[in-house]
Chain A
């Protein structure tokens, strides 16, 4: 199984001509054809013949390859516009939308030589944490087909978990990369706000959206991230990057202090999840890291600030789907999306905005201050990703409030513009994956990747493959 190998191993095989890009692409399509009818991780696939042709061309030019991503098959969450396929964002409103332009992140990966296979499933517009709120079939968890993939970037996580692609690009507004990474036993990085260009990302909530890599390991994330970062003249909120040698720095050992924020271990946290996370803390401690307890009192309001901000912005971002363009009626918007538009419009309305939207923005500033304060006594924070194990299909979509609470530990990180790495931390006794998140200061991606890499040297959780693969391969 080629796609179980790390990106650097694959790059080596291609360079040594032991395997071809055509081999990788062929395996990718075979696995998708074999498994995806059970998982629904793709909405749209590129035409296989066309991609094979592209792979043949890539094989011819392999000598000129400079990037380790050269020839690696990948997929995009269907929230990124591209020219090779349609872009639906998980909603029938964009069922026939073929973008005349492409997202900056996609352009950069193509320039590195990576090969797009298709577009992954998601909760439409990013509205959800389970990949059930999609018009293209609910996503299923490769570890248990009766359970959710997590979301909204469920499709990319399931596709990586079941080794359909070498890596994928997710999008994280309030946990959308970290939550499915945790539930599918993959690694995912929510970058700091501004680290990667958002140009061509269909917006959920503009001040929270972040474009991040999803992969099998932290090492792979570091490789992919290097090709994604940097200032983009087309995104006024993107930042110039100085610290981009993520791979080179992975091995540099620095003594670190890990903060354990007590508000992430309160009511509502499933004890099964808690035990796994606390074990990870111990593992770090045993590896020589200093552990300190920290507190971020405003986390109590974190999810409220997140939803007031996110839904206000989404009510605005969704206004362009007014039925005049893109060919489909706005009646096709789902209940979840309508709910979010209504809540957001309410929070921005005259007479309510002061108490809702504006207050949330004031609280947002305070929350950022509290995180900064916590980082005075530690380098990174370690916390659970979601309060519970992957839910059964149908459980969350029928309980909107419970669904909102899935973002309890992740949404506030977006509110504060920080970076956070989700990585496998263990399994329940029913063999369901549980992830943890390492939270870093804004633009401290290199630090998180180093720490995640250390953990993946000490443990092998991230190498475990879902039963769906063992049964079939």
Chain B
């Protein structure tokens, strides 16, 4: 980073889209599994193809899940809500409008805590995903094809306040949102396939106030690239500002190979989507009791679990953050830790072995199996104590110098002597036992 950018403060907010993993699509009964479809356009029907006369019927599960995510992110919930039509023309949008939510999203006014401070969640709403365009050469002709397997898949959109102050904080927010979505078991968030998509709106300010321009970083499919792109933009915009100009209001993408952002589209005016309430879908009314019931159903969230594991099992945060991934495995791990304590094993040691992949965490295995795997890993051979005493005697006899040094107070030589014993025995030893026997022999 150049020194001059110390004068500027990053002002950044995120827009995160994530597909929900409901069984069926958002407004029809079609299978919601676009990434595993055997071929294009197999999971389609008149509704998600937007055929004349077809009507949308909202997916209750998707609505419930969106509200649960909102509750997990400390949002308020609009008890009265609705779906709206957002109009624009694009070949992957068969109705000429996307069913989305405009002025009354399901969730609003939440927050997420990060290592760099609290980031406000402006809103979370639910909409339908679009189809996918494929540009191909067929018979040496350039053609554009549309696959509607993804069209109509429930897609949530989360918008943060412009509270993000660094590239790494942007990545942290994105990761945490992904972790929570996975933890609630409502989405896979596969970035590579587009199951989760990130956009950042950013500008630089000297005063901390919102500047009169905004750059949109779009179509970024990894947390790392998002961080790199924002870091790059900070430098680029700083240079522009230092040159006495305002950066252009535009949409930019990230070129991974060149490690540079590039201009994709310059917006002259704000688009007019002609939003209005979708007359095909009656407004939705929730009760306070319903929302409270959903709140009670929420599992403990990752950060809450990190704290809990630290207090109860003394698990280090660096291990627990890697291990807390989905409700099922978390519950299993807690059983493992309790069993470990009963056997006088430090739970943190098991956590470490799992993180280091010395123990495989198979969700189908029982906690007893995992603890016994750990024990096997750390098991020692039964060494006959007579044999051990004999070997120690031999080592001491053949290394009189070391014995002398020990007696002169250089206790570090114990390590050397232990090594000699281990070498002679060629077995997995309980080093505690060897050590005490060795010390006994030296004292004699």
Question: Which residues of A are in contact with B by a Cβ distance under 8 Å?
Answer: 80-81, 87, 89, 94, 97, 99-101, 103, 198-203, 205-207, 233-237, 312-313, 315-316, 318-320, 322, 324-325, 345, 348-350, 353, 357
* Stretch of B15-23, B51-59, B151-159, B170-178 on the interface side: B51-59
**How many angstroms between the C-alpha atoms of A319 and B95 in the bound complex?**
6
Chain A residue nearest in CB terms to B280: A206
Chain B residue nearest in CB terms to A81: B53
Query: B116: CB under 8 A from chain A?
Result: no
**Do A236 and B280 have beta carbons less than 8 Å apart?**
yes
**How many angstroms between the C-alpha atoms of A233 and B270 in the bound complex?**
38
Query: Given A322-B96, A349-B272 in contact, is the A101-B54 Cβ separation under 8 Å?
Result: yes
**Do A345 and B51 have beta carbons less than 8 Å apart?**
no
Chain B residue nearest in CB terms to A101: B46
15 A-B pairs, CB-CB below 8 angstroms?
Answer: A87-B52, A89-B52, A99-B51, A99-B53, A198-B55, A203-B53, A236-B57, A236-B281, A316-B274, A319-B87, A320-B96, A324-B91, A348-B87, A348-B275, A349-B272
Point out the residues of chain A lying under 8 angstroms from B278, CB to CB. 206
Point out the residues of chain B lying under 8 angstroms from A236, CB to CB. 55-58, 280-282
Chain A residue nearest in CB terms to B50: A320
**Do B94 and A325 have beta carbons less than 8 Å apart?**
yes
Supplied contacts A202-B53, A316-B97, 17 more A-B pairs, CB within 8 Å: A80-B53, A81-B53, A99-B51, A100-B46, A103-B53, A199-B55, A200-B53, A206-B279, A207-B279, A235-B55, A236-B55, A236-B58, A236-B281, A237-B282, A316-B96, A320-B94, A345-B274
Point out the residues of chain A lying under 8 angstroms from B57, CB to CB. 233-236
> Mask for B27-68, Cβ within 8 A of A = 1, else 0?
000000000000000000110001111111110000000000
Query: Given A349-B272, A353-B276 in contact, is the A97-B52 Cβ separation under 8 Å?
Result: yes
Query: B252: CB under 8 A from chain A?
Result: no
**How many angstroms between the C-alpha atoms of A103 and B52 in the bound complex?**
10
Query: B213: CB under 8 A from chain A?
Result: no
Query: B89: CB under 8 A from chain A?
Result: yes
Query: B85: CB under 8 A from chain A?
Result: yes
**How many angstroms between the C-alpha atoms of A142 and B70 in the bound complex?**
62
**Do A313 and B94 have beta carbons less than 8 Å apart?**
no
**How many angstroms between the C-alpha atoms of A350 and B274 in the bound complex?**
7
Instruction: Name the contact of A320 in the complex, choosing from B52, B56, B276, B282 (C-beta under 8 A).
Output: B52
Point out the residues of chain B lying under 8 angstroms from A324, CB to CB. 91
**How many angstroms between the C-alpha atoms of A234 and B272 in the bound complex?**
31
Band of interface residues on B: 20 to 34
Query: Given A316-B85, A316-B96, A322-B89 in contact, is the A100-B52 Cβ separation under 8 Å?
Result: no
The distance from the CB of B44 to the nearest CB of chain A, in whole angstroms, is 10
Point out the residues of chain B lying under 8 angstroms from A81, CB to CB. 51-53
Point out the residues of chain A lying under 8 angstroms from B275, CB to CB. 348
The distance from the CB of A6 to the nearest CB of chain B, in whole angstroms, is 31
Point out the residues of chain B lying under 8 angstroms from A87, CB to CB. 52
Q: Which of B51, B91, B272 has the most CB of A within 10 A?
A: B51
**How many angstroms between the C-alpha atoms of A313 and B277 in the bound complex?**
10
Point out the residues of chain B lying under 8 angstroms from A357, CB to CB. 276
The distance from the CB of A201 to the nearest CB of chain B, in whole angstroms, is 5
The distance from the CB of A50 to the nearest CB of chain B, in whole angstroms, is 23
**Do B95 and A320 have beta carbons less than 8 Å apart?**
yes
The distance from the CB of B23 to the nearest CB of chain A, in whole angstroms, is 16
**Do A316 and B55 have beta carbons less than 8 Å apart?**
no
The distance from the CB of A92 to the nearest CB of chain B, in whole angstroms, is 14
**Do A94 and B52 have beta carbons less than 8 Å apart?**
yes
Point out the residues of chain A lying under 8 angstroms from B46, CB to CB. 99-101
- Contact residues, B257-294 vs A (CB, 8 A): 270, 272, 274-276, 278-282
Instruction: Name the contact of B89 in the complex, choosing from A101, A206, A319 (C-beta under 8 A).
Output: A319
Chain A residue nearest in CB terms to B52: A202
Q: Shortest 3 CB-CB distances between A and B: which pairs?
A: A319-B96, A207-B279, A206-B279
**How many angstroms between the C-alpha atoms of A325 and B131 in the bound complex?**
14
**Do B58 and A99 have beta carbons less than 8 Å apart?**
no
Query: Given A236-B281, A316-B97, A320-B95 in contact, is the A353-B55 Cβ separation under 8 Å?
Result: no
Point out the residues of chain B lying under 8 angstroms from A312, CB to CB. 276
**How many angstroms between the C-alpha atoms of A132 and B278 in the bound complex?**
30
**Do A316 and B87 have beta carbons less than 8 Å apart?**
yes
Instruction: Name the contact of B274 in the complex, choosing from A101, A235, A348 (C-beta under 8 A).
Output: A348
**Do A237 and B280 have beta carbons less than 8 Å apart?**
yes
Q: Which of B53, B85, B276 has the most CB of A within 10 A?
A: B53
Chain B residue nearest in CB terms to A197: B55
Chain B residue nearest in CB terms to A94: B52
The distance from the CB of A362 to the nearest CB of chain B, in whole angstroms, is 13
Point out the residues of chain B lying under 8 angstroms from A322, CB to CB. 89, 96
Instruction: Name the contact of A319 in the complex, choosing from B97, B272, B276, B282 (C-beta under 8 A).
Output: B97
